Amino acid sequence: MEKRVARLTEDIEWFLDHLRVEKGASEHTILAYHSDLTIAVKFFAGLELSSWSELESKQMLAFEATLGPGIARTTAQRRISGLRSFLKFLKKNGSGPKADLPSTSGFKKPKTLPKALQVDGITSLLQIPQCETPQGLRDRALMELIYGAGLRVSEAVDLEMGNLDFDSRSVQVLGKRGKTRRVPLPAETLAWLDRYLRESRPLLAKRASSRVFLSDKGRNLLRQTAYTLLDRYAQRANLPDGVSPHTLRHTYAVHLLKGGADLRAVQELLGHESIATTQIYTQLDMDEVRAKYRSAHPRD
């Protein structure tokens, strides 16, 4: 048993050195891989495996069976993913098993989308910041923008002053993969942005910056800061756990669709490449899509 463990561990160390030296992986990542792969080594050595090249599908299935009930899905996903990366590395270097690589699909945590806030919920949230302070006014304007324009948090905190257009009542947004889109701004959002830029931002700006939203120390506001602030306000508004900037973006989309907005238009406003993404993102029931279609199509 000890000899089998030692032989299997040699390849583990080779893989970890590859991650450390060639991939520049952090020590935290290295330790995580080492811990998970050590568990796999002990299991396969117990099945009398002496070399990774001998690994067969039935042994792989036996290992996957140990990742069932009693183990968190995220833990199971990490362990099977780590083993897959290791075996893929061995195969690439000519010493891996002939068996197929393990699949991670059965262990992935189902995607969960945030629930949209009701109108009274979003109203309560937006009223929490103390707008008598520069920070509170900034936070109100930030939340108004994310909800009023359906922006991703990164799009909001990275927004440049030159991309706000009060004359056309719109904002030019730099989205994923460098794609830009122009989004109209509601009157209420414009009013809060205007007040923030006049009353609050000059007090926060301690150095030259082209960003709209600045931190308490005058630096560029970070995504994580936006998450932290919103979580704090959501708790004070007695909203359910898990409210985030993404919740506001999701709420924007759902409120538009419930108000009768065209699905294609919402797709453009959100910056989605595929309309299928918009349907999933909003959890829109296909019955509702059909009903909108039938009410709008002249031939139905």
Phi, psi of 22 (to 5 degrees): -90, -30
CB 142 within 8 A of CB 193: no
| CA nearest neighbour of 88 among 164, 4, 176, 23 | 23
Q: What tokens were used for 121?
A: 């919920």
Please give the biggest Cα pair distance in the chain. 76
Catalytic residue numbers? 152, 176, 246, 249, 272, 281
Alpha-carbon distance 12 to 47, whole Å?
18
CB 210 within 8 A of CB 162: yes
Residue type, 146: I
Alpha-carbon distance 37 to 214, whole Å?
44
Q: Which helix (H) or strand (E) holds 180?
A: strand 180-184
Alpha-carbon distance 33 to 15, whole Å?
10
CB 43 within 8 A of CB 66: yes
The sign of the dihedral angle between the CA atoms of 155, 157, 160, 161 is positive
Beta strands in 55-115 (DSSP E): none
CB 264 within 8 A of CB 276: no
